[in-house]
């Protein structure tokens, strides 16, 4: 009798878990569908770009942002966001655009790894040569 009771309670528990998970998945599906439709966006949606972030302390940072082709410097603290300045100097803007172009083609992990390996090999080769001369 104990085995039959255990099996029936196991089936009830698994079915209750399936119902709860189904409700959670359904709720997530509907929330995503409705939340995604409420935002206001222009054609592309890529009008705000974070160019750089520098952390200056716990929960404090300075962020460089491109908003509709205007460069903004924003300070972010615990519960506060403050616009510090806008960058309008043509030299600075050109320098930022050049750095963005360089960052679009990042060095791949394998290239980075091979350069470290080559450096280590060169250092090891120099050490062996200095030992042999001693």
The residue with greater pLDDT, 116 or 74, is 74
- Domain coordinates in residue numbering, the chain: 1-40, 43-88, 100-134
| CB 83, CB 96: distance < 8 Å | no
Q: What's the mean per-residue pLDDT of the chain?
A: 78
> What beta strand segments (E) does 1-89 contain?
48-57, 60-67, 70-77, 80-87
pTM of the model: 0.43
Nearest one of 61, 68, 54 to 82, comparing CA atoms: 61
The 10s digit of each residue's pLDDT in 24-54 is: 999 988 887 777 654 444 445 678 888 888 9
CA distance 14 to 16: 5
Q: Which of 103-112, 113-122, 124-133 has the lowest mean pLDDT?
A: 124-133
CA distance 40 to 72: 21
């Amino acid at each position: 009798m104990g085995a039959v009771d255990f099996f029936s309670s196991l089936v009830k528990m698994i079915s209750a878990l399936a119902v709860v998970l189904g409700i959670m998945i359904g709720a997530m599906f509907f929330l995503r569908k409705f939340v995604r439709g409420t935002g206001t966006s222009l054609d592309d949606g890529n009008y705000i770009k974070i160019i750089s972030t520098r952390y200056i302390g716990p929960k404090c940072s300075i962020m460089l942002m491109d908003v509709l082709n205007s460069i903004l410097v924003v300070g972010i603290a615990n519960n506060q966001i403050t616009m510090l300045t806008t960058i309008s100097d043509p030299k600075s803007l050109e320098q930022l655009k050049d750095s963005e172009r360089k960052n679009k083609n990042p060095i791949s992990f394998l290239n980075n790894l091979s350069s470290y390996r080559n450096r280590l090999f060169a250092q090891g080769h120099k050490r062996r040569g200095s030992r042999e001369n001693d």
